Structure 1
């Protein structure tokens, strides 16, 4: 890849589903489909919404190691990013990615105690396309 950030960033921005993994108490990976990230800062930092009370949040608090994955099933391409997750509950972070309609999930609004932000910070990744895989640093 000539321009990793551009290639990977463009690829991710076109996906309408993301997969996020955490590590459970027994050390096994747990993967979940989620909506795309609400905000991206290049291919280094991604912000997702979730419920504070979720199993995933407790797993990230115990072990922040994580990965996110995006795929194109039509052309059989995908990108995995490895890194860590921080659970953010401050009002500024919550307001940053809040969208109209989120009250469907968080009825008390942006200050709902069951609404939090997952901040994923990538350290490296792997891209698969055209029967070829390539690792890259972020």
Structure 2
């Protein structure tokens, strides 16, 4: 892959669903479909919105190891990124990704205590395309 950031970034930007994984109390992976990231900084940093009270937030607080996956079903391509997930509850982070309409999920607005930000930082990836997989560092 000549330009991993461009190729993978384009794949990610076209997806309407992201899959995030965390580790549960028994050490098993748990995967969940999410809305796509609100902000993406290259293929290293991703910001998601979620409920502070969610199971995923509790799991990331105990073990920050995480994985995110994006799949282009049309061309049967995908990318898995491994790294860590941080739970951010500071005003600046919450305001950074807040969008009109979020009150549907967080009725108290940007200061809703059940609203937080997940910031994923990738360290490694694996890209699948044309019946081949390729590992890469980020």
* TM-score bin (small chain): over 0.9
* CA apart distance, 1:64: 0.1
Q: Distance in 1 between matches of 2:44 and 2:76?
A: 23
Q: Does 1:134 align with 2:129?
A: no
Q: Which residue number in structure 2 is paired with residue 44 of structure 1? A: 44
Q: Distance in 1 between matches of 2:102 and 2:17?
A: 17
Q: Which residue number in structure 1 is paired with residue 97 of structure 2? A: 97
The runs of 4+ residues in structure 1 deviating greater than 4 Å are none
Q: TM-score, normalised by structure 2?
A: 0.99
Q: Which blocks of at least 5 consecutive residues in structure 2 are unaligned?
A: none
Q: Distance in 2 between matches of 1:92 and 1:22?
A: 25
Q: Distance in 2 between matches of 1:88 and 1:77?
A: 31
Q: How many pairs are equivalent?
A: 138
* CA apart distance, 1:136: 0.6
Q: Which residue number in structure 1 is paired with residue 14 of structure 2? A: 14
Q: Which residue number in structure 2 is paired with residue 79 of structure 1? A: 79
Q: Distance in 2 between matches of 1:76 and 1:10?
A: 14
Q: Which blocks of at least 5 consecutive residues in structure 1 are unaligned?
A: none
The C-alpha deviation readout for 1:43-72, integer Å capped at 9, x for no partner, is: 000000000000000000000000000001
Q: Which residue number in structure 1 is paired with residue 24 of structure 2? A: 24
Q: Residue 36 of structure 1 aligns to a residue in which SS?
A: coil
